[in-house]
Amino acid sequence: MSNSRYSVTELAALLGAEPVLSDLLIKGIGTLESATETQLSFLHNSRYQLQLTDSVAGAILVREEHRHNVRSVALVVDDPYLAYAKATALFAVNRCSSSELISPSAIISPDAKVADSVIIGPNVVIGEEVTIASGVSIGANCVIGAACSIGEDTRLSANVTLYSDIRVGTDCLIHSGAVIGADGFGFANDAGEWVKIHQLGGVIIGDGVEIGAGTTIDRGALDDTVIGNGVILDNQIQIGHNTVIGDCTAIAACTAIAGSTRIGKNCTIAGACAIAGHLTLVEGTHITGMSMVSRSILQPGAYSSGTAAEPHQQWKRNAVRFRQLDEMSRRIKNLEKTVKQQNTEGQP
């Protein structure tokens, strides 16, 4: 639990709300239903309007039209969800302390360049020619391979692995179990036997990137795999070698992206999507969940291919019909051809 305390007046200023005069101390954040008199809450989705009037939260982030439905203190903002996101940073728990700067069990190469303020947890291994900037925090059991660089204020949670030649920008967050720079899936076939293509590129991660737990980003075969500034990657994502992801793109869990695909800026890719290799998705592309992308997308917009859940018996009937589509298509073409011939023969 965070030890942060802010008066309602302070929160209004920090979150860009209309000025409010109140000395009430807010000690945390809760939902409309669960928040106490010393917690902040918010209304973003209109489905929860009924909970708004009953909420006992000490202060609530709302739009102007909901101001008068708040029993306590209304903090009026243009976007309550965005203000809530900013508030979470104020109450986030930071358990690191200056007494834990470098664990005695960490193994650090003598030629690694580590800034004075870096926090290094137990059993961390840092390879040769590594450069780590100030403000970096590295959790327990992380492995930082040779010739890696990590920018200022980046945080690695426990059990993160950076292979060699990985560049991570400033103010990034990499969650536990992420693996950056493993070999891409490259093999050549020699009379039925697979010959490994050694991956000679690296990975470049921009500034302000968040990488979820268990996500893997393959190193490039020759050129680097590139993750742009402000990209957010959910848990359990696979990114193939030489993929390039543009700034501020967001990708949800369990999506797999094959190698050499280029994804533009400000795209969103929902969960469990599959994107084939050597494709281009232009800036502003939005892919809905469970979609299979097998061709390049050259016009911005929303795209879908996954099928929604339905009752099992109906799904079985539709699956049978799907297998019949090719035959039905041929029959329709034959009927159209017959009708056209009859109409032509009937003309004077």
pLDDT in tens, 239-269: 999 999 999 999 999 999 999 999 999 999 9
Residue spans in the chain of domains classed CATH 3.40.1390.10: 6-91
Tokens of 260: 């050499």
Residue corresponding to tokens 């929604």: 308
Pick from 298, 291, 263: which is nearest to 277 by CA? 263
Q: Where in the chain do CATH 2.160.10.10 domains reside?
A: 102-303
What per-residue confidence (pLDDT) applies to 322?
86
The CATH H-level (homologous superfamily) assignment of domain 102-303 is Hexapeptide repeat proteins (2.160.10.10)
Low-confidence stretches of the chain (pLDDT < 50) are 97-98
- pTM across the whole model: 0.88
Residues of 310-330 as b/e, b for ≥16 C-beta within 10 angstroms?
A: eeeeeeeeeeeeeeeeeeeee
The count of other CB atoms within 10 Å of the CB of residue 190 is 8
CA distance 75 to 327: 62
Helix (H, G, I), strand (E, B) or coil at 252: coil
What's the confidence (pLDDT) of residue 307?
78
What is the torsional sign of CA 303, 309, 310, 316? positive
Sorted by sequence, the CB contacts under 8 Å of residue 34 that are 6+ apart come out as none
Collapsed DSSP state (helix, strand, coil) of residue 33: coil
pLDDT of residue 158: 97
d(CA 258, CA 53): 49
Q: What is the pLDDT at residue 98?
A: 44
List, by residue number, the catalytic residues: 241
CB of 127 closer than 8 Å to CB of 107? no
Residue 241 to residue 199: CA distance in whole angstroms = 9
Distance of CA 264 to the CA centre of its chain: 15
Q: Are 71 and 58 in contact (CB under 8 A)?
A: no
CATH superfamily for domain 6-91:
MurE/MurF, N-terminal domain (3.40.1390.10)
